[in-house]
Chains A and B, each alone.
Chain A
Amino acid sequence: GESVGLHLPTLSVQEGDNSIINCAYSNSASDYFIWYKQESGKGPQFIIDIRSNMDKRQGQRVTVLLNKTVKHLSLQIAATQPGDSAVYFCAETPNDYKLSFGAGTTVTVRA
């Protein structure tokens, strides 16, 4: 079936370095993608989104890249901070309201 997945379940990064979190999706009909951040004991929090007519979108310290050719999505976090430690989920929806979530990547920031 269609699925959204992340390449790596865990990522350890040095404080101040840039982080890259990857996500592969299989539903070619997907046209809207979202990255969520979930801190321990909290609900997922919206970070940034991108529509299929774009290949890059920037926010504050975060950039999402979309490569529709290989069905790949990535989240880049610049100058990673301790507060960035969390589980990151990519989610996609093929033009409806049912979000499909990937398994999540746990990011740990080393001081």
Chain B
Amino acid sequence: DTAVSQTPKYLVTQMGNDKSIKCEQNLGHDTMYWYKQDSKKFLKIMFSYNNKELIINETVPNRFSPKSPDKAHLNLHINSLELGDSAVYFCASSQAASGGETQYFGPGTRLLVL
């Protein structure tokens, strides 16, 4: 019955590697998001897709590339991983891309770059 799920939960990798994080929502929502939470718990939006189309692209290095094969999935691929990419990455979804829509979060992917 998981509403928003992410895989993997933990990811430990070496600098310079390429990795992907997957997200799926079974809520029937149209909009999905990726957030990054740093070591001080600060949450910042990275990307958002609405019906498979990119609608938010914050100032994120182009090593990060989101992909939405359908509106229930939003994956995040990261090239050439750096130490500063270590963080918790959260996927979220909402019914629509409009103000006032509650966003539901996944459990997070804890990425550690060594």
Contacts and interface: CB of A to CB of B under 8 A. Distances in A.
Interface of A: 31-32, 34, 36, 38, 41-46, 49, 51, 87, 89, 93-99, 101, 103-104
B105 A45 contact: yes
Interface stretch (B14-22, B67-75, B78-86, B94-102): B94-102
Interface of B: 4, 31, 40-45, 48, 55-56, 90, 92, 94, 96-108
A32 B72 CA distance: 25
Given A44-B43, A97-B56, A51 B108 contact: no
Contact of A103 (B41, B97, B108): B41
B98 A97 contact: yes
B43 A101 contact: yes
Contact of A43 (B55, B98, B100, B105): B105
A68 B39 CA distance: 31
Contacts of B90: 43-44
Most A CB atoms within 10 A — which of B48, B100, B105?
B100
B100 A87 contact: no
A31 B99 contact: yes
B41 A42 contact: no
Nearest to A94: B99
A97 B98 CA distance: 5
Contact of B45 (A31, A34, A42, A99): A99
A90 B108 CA distance: 19
Nearest to B106: A43
A34 B101 CA distance: 10
